[in-house]
Amino acid sequence: MQEKETTVHQPAEVRILKDGPIMIKGTFAFKDSSGKITKGEQELYICRCGGSSTKPWCDNTHKKIGLAY
């Protein structure tokens, strides 16, 4: 078998959005609480206020709750 060499990409970025969700953007593996994995390029918004009704996703409830950080 031949040796294969590749170059790899920039690391994925994770941003804590002020008073809002966590944004994860780039190429990474995402594992939900049931263990299901999605790989590849993606952009996700994870609820950080505890109040979303579509967890783990943000549904903008943080505005009502008034998450302050």
Query: Which residues contact ligand FES (rule: CB under 6 A)?
Result: 20-21, 47-49, 51-52, 58-62
Report whether 24 contacts 14 (CB < 8 A): yes
Specify the residue for token string 């190429």: 27
- Answer with the entry of ligand FES, another protein, none that 61 interacts with (C-beta below 5 to 8 A by kind): ligand FES
Least Cβ distance, residue 68 to another protein (angstroms): 9
CB of 65 to another protein, least distance (A): 7
Residue 19 burial (CB < 10 Å; 0-12/13-18/19+)?
A: middle
